[in-house]
Amino acid sequence: MRRILLACAALALPLAAQAPQPLSSRVVAYQIDARLDAVKKTIDATETLTYQNLTGQPLDTFPFHLYLNAFQPKSSVSRELHRGDPEWELKDEERGAIEIKKLEVDGIGDLTSQLRFVHPDDDNADDRTVAELKLPKPIAPGQSVTFRITFHDRLPQVTMRTGYRRNFYLVGQWFPKVGVWWHGAWNCHQFHANTEFFADFGTYDVKVTVPRNFVTGSSGGEVATVNNPDGTKTVSYRGEDIHDFAWTADPNYRVVEDTWKGSAAIVHIRLLMQPGHMSHAGRYMSALKGTLDRFDRWYGPYPYDRITVVDPAPGALAAGGMEYPTFITGDTSWLIGKGVLLPELVVEHEFGHQYWYGMVATNEFEEAWMDEGINTYTEFKIMDSLYGRNSMLNYAVLTGTDADSQHRGYASVVRNDPITRKAWQFLGGGSYGGLSYAKTGAALLTLEAIIGEDTLRRALNTYFLRYRFTHPTGEDFFKTVNEVAGQDLRWFWDQAFYGTQVLDYEILSASSEPVDPDAKENKMIYNSEIVVHRKGDFIFPVEVEIRFDNGEKIRERWDGRDRWIRYTYQKKAKVVSAEVDPGHRIALDVDFFNNSRLVKGDTGARRKIANYWTMVTQFLAAAASWLV
């Protein structure tokens, strides 16, 4: 017997050595069995959650997200979105809810009555998006606890992120999810208008029962499908080393599949397309493969063997542009032409979240810039790399890059809040978006001017490899960049991320005057003077390029500490132009138009816009003749 056992062990050892190691610490293990009622738009489910206490201390309290309760009239989300609008009412079909019918803890018993709603972020006692459970006895460090939960979901018609539209379902934030023990305390925020993600890594075994004609997809890999006698089917999924689980179902989906070979895995790509959007499937696929390639080469390997892209149904665009582990939603319309690269951009951005959220699992509530902002920066880089100079709008008469499209969004709110503010505490949605996304993206583009594009790419690569499958903070990011760049960039982080300083440089004047006006033309010497002004309070070293009419170019470097600087030259040539940041690398500058001055003013832009405006006015006037 012993020999047999030894022989078995000998055989098993190489197999064990080959078995893949978990990528994450796997704090949680969820087993969920859910049944969709496609008529009532509800889900009834049972959940078994096993939580490993790896905190190093006993735990007797557990908070749970109950995020579908955000779709209630008195929730904090409703307050945040409709502040100051007393007329607003949440329609009945737009209401969502999650109810815990029963909660048992192994070894303890039924604790359903012990659940109480808490609101850690605000004073809204009516918000029911977080519930807390106090155990009669603590769970010791290293021990695990198993919760057995029966719950009922009422799905909202999609108005924001999750829900249904006719037979389309995007089911996210749908199950009781435990909070994260982080920095010595539970971190389990309420559901907010701008933010919703922070959870522990683990495994998900989820069974979804839906009508048999529905096509499904999810954050997990499909394990099995069983047809049931009642006309439904049960699809089993398993996801490993992920921290959330979303799924979708729709009888109309057309499935488009392909594979992409990365450095860590062969990735199975699955597009779940709406029939009317099939002509855009190629655009999604091409953008996704290009993005996978750039991320793999620039920032690190994609370790999962799958990615699913959901194309939301008509009328459900509010579920578009969302990210869940190995599962993202696109955003397109049949009316969008090839010159508008919105479908590509959304797929790129949401896939980027597989890195900046999915694997580097930062706290979106408290430091939204770490997923949205860093992701916006990589989006700028990848969209430019894939689609060139006009990476957002590419028509003969109208152009624009992705970064251009976001610049005004940032520049108009730059004074409102620092990037590092907690997501629900920004002045408003515009401020949150303009700063968390656009300003962070612009700040990192600007950082390239100091440390170089390659260095920043290496820094992001290091940051990814170091912090994947963990929950780093903003300071972890700053330290990593400092370390890779080999310099202390605190002055930059303080101004760009922790501060609200405005970066704005201008050429105040540029002129040339003859030293001796009576001298012959070929002997003429000119005094040229250029004044550069720092209009804003963000101090940033800049380059200034001065061009002369003999073709000579001079580059000056100014540390920007003073309010202005004057450059004077005495030459046989006159100054033609002066420009701050001639390489156009300081994306944080709020006004690009004042960065340069041509001594002999080029009026082309003014004439062109004014002419357009004249024509528009004339055309409207001429069209009015139809009324007479």
- Contact footprint for another protein (CB under 8 A): 166-167, 252, 274-277, 313-315, 333-335, 392-393, 395-401, 404-405, 407-408, 411, 577, 579, 584, 591-628
HEC readout, 571-615: ECCCEEEEEECCCCCCCCCCCCHHHEEECCCCCHHHHHHHHHHHH
Give the nearest distance from C-beta 598 to another protein in angstroms: 4
Give the nearest distance from C-beta 215 to another protein in angstroms: 13
Residue written as tokens 């450095």? 263
- Indicate the residue type of 286: S
Q: How far apart are CA 400 and CA 382, in angstroms?
A: 15
8 A C-beta contact, residue 438 and residue 409? yes
Q: How far apart are CA 78 and CA 64, in angstroms?
A: 20
Q: How far apart are CA 546 and CA 467, in angstroms?
A: 44
The residue length of the chain stands at: 628
Nearer to another protein, 522 or 625 (CB): 625
8 A C-beta contact, residue 152 and residue 101? yes
Q: How many helices (H) and strands (E) does the chain have?
A: 12, 32
Nearer to another protein, 102 or 408 (CB): 408
Give the nearest distance from C-beta 253 to another protein in angstroms: 11
Nearer to another protein, 307 or 340 (CB): 340
Nearer to another protein, 207 or 597 (CB): 597
Q: How far apart are CA 546 and CA 399, in angstroms?
A: 28
- Indicate the residue type of 480: T
Nearer to another protein, 31 or 167 (CB): 167
Based on C-alpha coordinates, what's the Rg of the chain?
29
Give the nearest distance from C-beta 83 to another protein in angstroms: 25
Nearer to another protein, 476 or 556 (CB): 556
> Residue 262: which of 299, 236, 237 has the closest Cα?
299
Helix extents (H) in 309-371: 342-352
Give the nearest distance from C-beta 588 to another protein in angstroms: 14
Give the nearest distance from C-beta 201 to another protein in angstroms: 37
Nearer to another protein, 88 or 395 (CB): 395
Nearer to another protein, 88 or 619 (CB): 619
HEC readout, 228-277: CCCCEEEEEEEEEEECCCCEEEECCCEEEEEEEECCCCEEEEEEEECHHH
Nearer to another protein, 570 or 618 (CB): 618
8 A C-beta contact, residue 216 and residue 233? no
**Residue 56 Rama label (left phi>0; alpha psi -120 to 50; beta):** left
Query: What are the structure tokens assigned to 469, written together?
Result: 């499958």
Q: How far apart are CA 497 and CA 490, in angstroms?
A: 10
Q: What angle do CA 382, 276, 220 make, to 5 degrees?
A: 60
Give the nearest distance from C-beta 379 to another protein in angstroms: 15
Give the nearest distance from C-beta 545 to another protein in angstroms: 10
Nearer to another protein, 460 or 532 (CB): 532
Give the nearest distance from C-beta 408 to another protein in angstroms: 5
Give the nearest distance from C-beta 158 to another protein in angstroms: 12
Strands ordered across the beta sheet of 42-52: 109-110, 97-105, 144-154, 42-52, 28-37, 202-211, 232-242, 221-227
Give the nearest distance from C-beta 160 to another protein in angstroms: 18
Q: How far apart are CA 355 and CA 468, in angstroms?
A: 8
Query: What are the structure tokens assigned to 459, written together?
Result: 């820094």
> Residue 118: which of 110, 129, 108, 109 has the closest Cα?
129
Q: How far apart are CA 339 and CA 353, in angstroms?
A: 25
Nearer to another protein, 88 or 613 (CB): 613
Give the nearest distance from C-beta 576 to another protein in angstroms: 11
Q: Is the dihedral of CA 451, 454, 460, 465 positive or negative?
A: negative
Give the nearest distance from C-beta 613 to another protein in angstroms: 5
Residue written as tokens 């009328």? 315
Give the nearest distance from C-beta 230 to another protein in angstroms: 25
> Residue 339: which of 386, 279, 275, 397 has the closest Cα?
397
Nearer to another protein, 336 or 489 (CB): 336
Nearer to another protein, 265 or 317 (CB): 317
Q: How far apart are CA 400 and CA 437, in angstroms?
A: 18
Query: What Cα–Cα distance (Å) separates residue 11 from each residue in 190, 390, 445?
Result: 50, 58, 54
Nearer to another protein, 19 or 628 (CB): 628
Residue written as tokens 């769970």? 139
